[in-house]
Chains A and B, each alone.
Chain A
């Protein structure tokens, strides 16, 4: 007697070890279900980062290379014309992606390092360290951050390093508030208490016991804070106290070429040139917001639609 080609056997089915979907696989499934807005957002962010990383290869000219003709019109040679001292605008927009996004990313990371760390410490401590830090943050938040940043820049001078440090510290107050608020719910749980009684150090409790459980809101907040930091750096550069020339930056590019808008009646293309970097900022911010919305929806009901 021959065996049937595919016999059903309950033992063989249950005998198979249950394979948990890997992280990569779960991510792929989640991506497939993502709405169009989130996909669009991811696509845009990917393009931006690609441009930022490979800027020297994509850009036709050098970042600070000066050509003899200032305010040249759009042509095959200069795709988007040249700026007030004859630098290629297209090249500078590409390098601008690198500088603006790089600085914003470093700043946001630093601000999460400071704010997140202190927030966790405050949530675990809940005594005078918490009180002291929280009151300090209250006072720092009582001054509008753009104004505070302007004042600090006038004292320490505007260099890229100062810009990163100042904005990171000012922005970490927001991160502190959020981290403390979400971590305090986790810090009272039994297993944290157990870890503490076991004699685990502060660093271990912060990283291994609490942090994994508060990751989703923090990741979402990272996207939002990145947008804010990015907009703030753009605003400061636009005001002329942020990233200094000859470093290409979207905020200062808008300011340098703003006078071209007056000629919209004669040459519309030239008038749009100063708006392009500003538009690039806006598109990135919207894209990141799309991703954050989707992510929040995925991980929790924290911000369910309406």
Chain B
């Protein structure tokens, strides 16, 4: 057991390291801003004093290393800085705290991603298993052809086709996923049905194909053939011999695709005008509101790293070779 523990600790340390380096990269974005930036934010008519005060406020007058430690310290305390938008030429500011902007939207995005994952993960693993077990059958071929098509299509194409059929021709689902804080759970689910289906279709395809490939890979290994030759039944082979070794690849597949979901939400949120963090980020990019972009980028990157870390750890924990050391 001690060996597993130290392996996991090593992976965790590596994950924290990666996250730190990523935060340095995201932070240095602020230093790479072109010089005329303050004017772009405050307007052409901004006075020199306003520009100087603004530069002082975002700390451009201090060395970058110091600023980084201030910034990361504040982020760890939940203070993500102040948005660039809502500033005027005279220096008066109505800018909002980034944390206030991000907070409720982050919850919305997590809700959307959570519902999608809850539907698509079990379905994809089940379909992938089935396709692997009955490979080359009609079922396998149909599933393969369908998934290849969905993988090759851009996310927004899938989304608009769904809108065309279910939001416009037969108006069964709302084509705009406008939700607010005091909405009942059921109504909220109904509102996000089309975005969830879009996201599920996209990651289902990836997940299913990868699960199928992982299982087929496993079923081709010599010890499975040995089990078959020794007369083990089909169910015994799958549940006793194949599945314990399959957890690691399946966990990797699931985590990889949930990480893909992180990116997928950006486009889908924009299509369905869903008030999530992805849409916030795109808006912030358009208006070049760097603190908001940094905050969103940090959240997305952290989620991505965390998911991959989880997959690795599940892989370590469920590895039979590590569980029963000689």
Q: Is B41 an interface residue (CB 8 A)?
A: no
Restricting to A219-234, which residues have a CB under 8 Å from any CB of B?
A: 227, 231, 234
Docked Cα-Cα span, A147 to B286, in Å, equals 14
Given contacts A139-B25, A144-B262, contact A150 B160 (CB under 8 A): no
Q: How many pairs, one residue from A and one from B, have CB atoms within 8 Å of each other in the complex?
A: 142
Q: Is A153 an interface residue (CB 8 A)?
A: yes
* Contact across chains for B288 and A157 when beta carbons are under 8 A apart: yes
In the complex, the chain A residue whose C-beta lies closest to that of B31 is A155
Residues of B within 8 A of A231 (CB): 154
* Interface of chain B, main secondary structure: helix
Given contacts A241-B286, A281-B157, contact A142 B168 (CB under 8 A): no
Docked Cα-Cα span, A265 to B286, in Å, equals 33
Q: CB-defined interface of B136-161 with A at 8 Å, one 1/0 digit per residue?
A: 10000000000011001111110011
Interface segment out of the listed B108-116, B223-231, B292-300, B315-323: B292-300
* Contact across chains for A282 and B25 when beta carbons are under 8 A apart: no
Out of A143, A155, A234, which one reaches B32, CB within 8 Å? Answer: A155
- How far, in Å, is B178 (CB) from chain A's closest CB? 15
* Contact across chains for B160 and A264 when beta carbons are under 8 A apart: no
* Contact across chains for A144 and B25 when beta carbons are under 8 A apart: no
Interface segment out of the listed B59-67, B240-248, B277-285: B277-285
- How far, in Å, is B275 (CB) from chain A's closest CB? 16
Q: Is B169 an interface residue (CB 8 A)?
A: yes
- How far, in Å, is B102 (CB) from chain A's closest CB? 14
Docked Cα-Cα span, A275 to B162, in Å, equals 11
Residues of B within 8 A of A154 (CB): 284-285, 288-290, 293
Report which residue of A144, A153, A156, A234 has the largest number of chain B beta carbons within 10 angstroms of its beta carbon: A144
Residues of A within 8 A of B266 (CB): 146-147, 150, 239
Report which residue of A155, A156, A241, A281 has the largest number of chain B beta carbons within 10 angstroms of its beta carbon: A155
Q: Is B95 an interface residue (CB 8 A)?
A: no
Q: Is B21 an interface residue (CB 8 A)?
A: yes
Restricting to B157-202, which residues have a CB under 8 Å from any CB of A?
A: 157, 160-161, 163-164, 167-169, 175
Interface segment out of the listed A28-36, A63-71, A119-127, A254-262: A254-262
- How far, in Å, is A86 (CB) from chain B's closest CB? 22
Q: Is B232 an interface residue (CB 8 A)?
A: no
Restricting to A100-149, which residues have a CB under 8 Å from any CB of B?
A: 138-139, 142-148
Docked Cα-Cα span, A268 to B201, in Å, equals 24
Docked Cα-Cα span, A32 to B305, in Å, equals 47
Out of B136, B154, B169, B262, which one reaches A234, CB within 8 Å? Answer: B154
* Contact across chains for A285 and B168 when beta carbons are under 8 A apart: no
Q: Is A238 an interface residue (CB 8 A)?
A: yes
| Additional A-B contact list (19), CB under 8 Å, known A138-B18, A227-B152 | A142-B19, A142-B22, A143-B25, A147-B263, A154-B288, A154-B293, A231-B154, A235-B267, A238-B270, A241-B282, A241-B285, A258-B271, A263-B168, A264-B169, A265-B168, A278-B154, A281-B153, A289-B152, A306-B135
Which B residues are closer than 8 A to A by beta carbons?
18-19, 21-22, 25-26, 29, 32-34, 135-136, 148-149, 152-157, 160-161, 163-164, 167-169, 175, 216, 259, 262-263, 266-267, 270-271, 281-282, 284-286, 288-290, 293-294, 296-297, 300-301, 304-305, 308
A-B contact pairs, 12 of them (CB 8 A): A143-B22, A147-B296, A147-B297, A156-B34, A239-B270, A258-B160, A275-B161, A278-B160, A282-B153, A282-B157, A289-B152, A306-B135
